[in-house]
Structure 1
Amino acid sequence: MNSYGKLFRGHSEKNNQLLLRSYDPVKEKYFEVIKEARNEGLKQVIINSEIMTDILYATLNSDGLILKVNMSDNTDDDIKENVKAIIRKLKSDKLIFVKLKEELEWAADSGSIDINSIDIYISNKKYEIHSNGIIHGDDLDSIFDKIMKPVLEKYFYGK
């Protein structure tokens, strides 16, 4: 069953936690999910391009595949095509990730959200990860524990 989740984090000195809350866009309004979490003292996680790049690297390190990197509309078409070409080559040579990281470096350096979303395949499951902190796929707890949480802990808390 495909499901959705939204990433949140505690934002007090004592509450350095990361959470993945289930989210059903058919039954719940996005802003209500955010509002409810804020009332509980949580902040939504926005996944900037630097975090996206780290998620891509963690996926490859966990024997996963990068299926697609969706760039913002403002991104130069040449860069979009280069990224697509590199991703095709990644399936047979994971060392090419260095070239992908170089191609995306301008976005990661700016702290931007120029990477709108990524599609990855890991543990025989496909996931979509969006810059607004929404994850879509099967068995979201698995991707959260294996990939998302370690990357986000390092980014936010230096763990």
Structure 2
Amino acid sequence: MDFDQADGINQAIRRLSLRHRARTAALLAPLGLHPGQEALLLELDRTGPMIQAKLSDALGVEPPSVTLMTRKLEAAGHVRRAPSPEDRRASVVELTDSGRALADQVKALWCDLAEETVSGMAAEAVADLPGILNTLTGNVDPKRVTA
């Protein structure tokens, strides 16, 4: 691959990432959320209660980030933390009724954002997009073993 092609790919991914995050922030603000918090809510909605360490792995973020997000969401009444029955050093995080209601709002917002993002694309391309993006993500995953 030559530099011009590489630059075009890398710049497009960078612009998409920046603009998607900015658009996400604008849509989440009226709900009182910041980017990243919606992913935590949706993960708990999908999986149920989870210890913070596993939540960190599931979200692909560092444990201190999950701790900070959890504290803020707990202060707002959307999640609750309790010591894990298996390991008192670990905290189990779960959605409250308020958090479940907020997760439902985030799901609707997420659908709108996805539709906005893929507007004008052919249905076949949209159907292929998650697989393509997941491949790209896997290719740059720092945990990926390279030979």
TM bin (shorter chain): under 0.3
Q: Which protein is richer in strand relative to its size? A: 1
TM-score by length of 1: 0.26
TM-score by length of 2: 0.27
In our comparison, the structure showing a higher alpha carbon Rg is 2
Greater relative contact order (Cα 8 A, min sep 6): structure 1 or 2? 1
